Amino acid sequence: MTVTGPALPLDGLRAKIETIVGHLDARDALRDSLGRGEAVLDFLIGARSRALEPDAREWLLDYLREISLPGRPGILPHPVDVVVTRAP
């Protein structure tokens, strides 16, 4: 999907937002969330996952399993929006 935004004031630039359809491999996080997969889990939640209570950690891991791509356990959808501008 591409959306064109209004002209930016003063510069005459136009902004366009594009979505890159990406995937994140979270298999290590699901197998070993306190070891090798900890950095991926921290990235996903934007915080230190080690601080989660055990019940909260299991809820999170169950959720990540649920949203995995069909037939690809641990591979998560991870779209990224990019703002593109060009000088006139």
Q: Yes or no: say if 8 and 72 are a contact pair by the CB < 8 Å rule.
A: no
Q: Residue 6 — pLDDT band, cuts 50, 70, 90?
A: low
Q: What is the residue extent of each domain of the chain?
A: 2-86
End-to-end C-alpha distance for the chain, whole angstroms: 23
Distances (CA, A) of 6 to 3, 9, 12, 16: 10, 9, 10, 9
Residues sharing a CB contact under 8 Å with residue 59, sequence separation 6 or more, in sequence order: none
pLDDT digits 0-9 by tens, 8-36:
454 667 788 999 999 999 999 999 888 88
H or E element, residue 58: helix 54-66
Distance in angstroms (rounded) separating the CA atoms of residues 26 and 53: 20
> pTM of the predicted model, to two decimals?
0.70
